[in-house]
Structure formats: C-alpha cells, structure tokens
Amino acid sequence: MDSEILGYVVYVATKITVYASWCYLGIRLFDPARTQSAGIAAIYGLARFLLGLVVGIGIFFAALDMNNATRNAPLTYVAIYVPARIVEWSLWYAVIRRRSAPVARIAGWVGGGVLVSCIADIPLGILEGGVVPVGRPFC
C-alpha cells in the first residue's frame, strides 16, 4: 500500500477513534444509565466522522477561498473549522443526552470535542508536510 494512502487511512482511523472515545465520555456524562456504552459510542463516533465529512465538503470551498485570500492557514483553520465544530459537537450533545445537564458541563464537553477534533488533525498536518490542514473535506 502506498505510504500516502496508508497515512490517510491512519488519519481516518484516528479521527473515528478519537470521536468514539469522546462520544463515550459524553454518554457517561449525559446518559449514564445507558448500557453497552462502548458499542453505542463506536457507532456515534463513526456517525460523527461522517457528519464531519458532509460538513467538510460543504465548507471546503469557503476554507480554500479564505486561505487563498489571506495566505494564513492557521487563521483560516480557526475561522472556518472551529465554528463548524462547535455546531457539530453541539448537535452531537443533543443526540447523546437523555437528561439535562449544567450549562458549564455541556459547554465543557462541546469545547473538549472541538479541541480533540483539532488535535486529531495533527496527523493530517504531518502527512501534508507540517501545514495546518485547511481546504480538505473533513471537519
């Protein structure tokens, strides 16, 4: 297998694993009575990855346009991908929760989801030569 393709496979596997792990924490926080949390978290993690793919395709051109205009990949990443991820993880909170929670806990989990999403992009940045990964269809 070509090393570049393998790198993308590792990236996708990393994203799904990170998302599933974060969803598991969300289940434990917002629906602790749920049984088989690990299996459900794996499904939620994969679904969250697929949501990110759909959203990523939608914002692909916006990110490319902004990056081409500003020539500032970190600014583009923060301005485009972070708000999209706030919306995505807020939506995922609504999917996972079975009871209300304090706003600070919700905000912490959503913010943590944004953070782990960004950290999980590091392998892609390395794969692409150490650049901030903007203009790609993953969010």
Q: What is the pLDDT of residues 82-126, one digit of tens each?
A: 999 999 999 999 999 988 899 999 999 999 999 999 999 888 888
| Residue 136 maps to a domain | no
Structural domain contains residue 133: no
Q: Please say whether the beta carbons of 65 and 102 come within 8 A.
A: no
Assess if residue 21 is contained within a domain.
yes
Could you tell me what percent of the chain has a pLDDT over 70? 92
Q: Is 130 left (phi over 0), alpha (psi -120 to 50) or beta?
A: left
**Collapsed DSSP state (helix, strand, coil) of residue 122:** helix
Q: How many domains is the chain built from?
A: 1
- Residue span of the structural domain in which 65 resides: 3-127
Task: Please report whether residue 107 resides in a domain.
Answer: yes
Helices in 71-121 by DSSP H: which ranges?
A: 73-76, 82-96, 103-119
Give residue 120's identity as a one-letter amino acid code. Answer: A
**Predicted TM-score (pTM) of this structure:** 0.89
